[in-house]
Amino acid sequence: MGNYGEMLAKQQAFYNSGATKEVDFRIEALKRLGESLKEHEQQLIEALKKDLNKSAFETYSSEIGMVLQELRFTMRNLKKWMKPKRVKTTFTHTGSKGTVYADPYGVALIIGPWNYPIQLILAPLIGAIAGGNCAMIKPSELTPETSKVLKKVINRAYPERYIAVVEGDAETTQDLLTEKFDYLFFTGSVQVGKIVMEAAAKNLTPLTLELGGKSPAIVHEDADLKLAAKRIAWGKFMNAGQTCVAPDYLYVHQSVKQAFIDQLIRETREIYGETPIENEAYTHIVNQKHFNRLKSYLNQGHVLYGGQVKGEALVIEPTILEQVSFEDEVMQEEIFGPILPIITYETISEVIEGVQHNPNPLALYLFTNSQKIEKTIIQFLSYGGGCINDTVFHIVTPYLPFGGVGTSGMGTYHGKSSFETFTHKKSILKQTNQFDNPFRYPNTKHGLSMIKRILK
């Protein structure tokens, strides 16, 4: 058990010095993160190749590149976000001025997952730094090589009294959660999210939870089938399906089912080759436990495409299933792997009823050219966010807040939303001394009638 209390105390002392609150300090800190990330780029690519067999293309496009974009956007806008916001006051507050300040929380704990171990640690860290906080980050032990390099990235950029990396297993995480941090940011499973929230409740610590769930994709009868197939194949099978916003299962209109499936198989082959199980650029499953869980799903329903595995390398090729129902185990929990069950429908009300059968998903993807169908799905289904005629891309733009709802999470980040997540809105009313409104005092003559008249 590490001496995390001592480390936390040093960070709290540094935060209390006021250094992290200066705008120039924050911008310089963000700049150093970008420089260190670029300096260790090749080491991170090699580490993720060892941990997940992730290709250099996927590592840069979905991890390093996204973080660098987030950094540039934040540095460009930070001064504007930090500026105190003047707000209007009402007639009852004549003579006063209202201002909202973005106040840092203090020391944040950021707990990251293994599926995107660079991006899902550093993107929240950007928000913490931009907000003026110190931070302790805990990478996943399931991607140990990447965790080691991440520690180098952080240690190269910052002293531990400001930003620190703590490596370790689940017991380390539990030990960290016993400490009294000022903010918690967790990305991971619903099960562990509940544990984090329980720990936060003991100290009434504010937190953000980025979880998951069964995110559906819907292909309506009027969809552009070729584009829908290409974008679903990319969004589902990138990182071998180990993506929290990947399409988890697919609703396809009965009238276009066969045409769409044929197209989906063609597009999957186009992206990953005739034998993706031998493709050196295809991501592997993170460990034996997850491999065994995913392999058991291949016995359910009917395999339309794929289904081959290579146990010694922990590889499962892109797989399409049909003849599944919500009672099957593969439809009971988030798949988090390269297996895509397909369900057909005839009316959009069937889709709405089916999606509502599960807890609120983190994402939803609708492929249609009908504004009426688009409006119906957005209006009647609750989910974190998503795309019309695309998958996953909504999380790439810093202008859209990203987060879940219900069991898929709480709170948002990315872009300005990251800054807002790691800051408290401190509201200040500055009252005039030039005059004093008498109606507030109970001994004022006709005070009650004055209040009624003013507040009417």
Calculate the dihedral angle through the C-alpha atoms of 165, 170, 175, 176, rounding to the nearest 10 degrees.
40
- Give the side-chain half-sphere CA count within 13 A for 103: 11
Backbone angles phi, psi at 61, to 5 degrees: -70, -40
Q: How far apart are CA 100 and CA 120, in angstroms?
A: 29
What the block records as the tokens of 88 is 């209007």
User: Cα–chain-centroid distance for residue 80?
Assistant: 24
Q: Which of 244, 267, 387, 420 is an active site residue?
A: 244
Give the separation between CA 397 and CA 395, rounded to whole angstroms. 6
Q: How far apart are CA 455 and CA 159, in angstroms?
A: 54
Evaluate whether 3 touches 109 at the Cβ level (below 8 Å): no
In the set 70, 210, 267, 420, the catalytic residue is 210
CA 12-13-14 angle, to 5 degrees, is: 90
Pairing type for strands 423-430 and 216-219 reads unpaired
How far lies 15's CA from each of 12, 27, 68, 375, 417, in Å?
5, 16, 25, 47, 22
Does the CA dihedral 10-11-12-16 come out positive or negative?
Answer: positive
- Give the separation between CA 58 and CA 66, rounded to whole angstroms: 11
Look-up of token digits 């520690």: 151
DSSP β-ladder status, 207-210 and 319-322: unpaired
* Cβ atoms of residues 309 and 316 within 8 Å: yes
> Among this protein's residues, is 210 annotated catalytic?
yes
Mark 240-275 as b/e (b = at least 16 C-beta within 10 Å): bbbbbbbbbbbbbbeebbeebbebbbebbeebbeee
CB 251 within 8 A of CB 218: yes
Looking at the annotation, which residues are catalytic?
210, 244
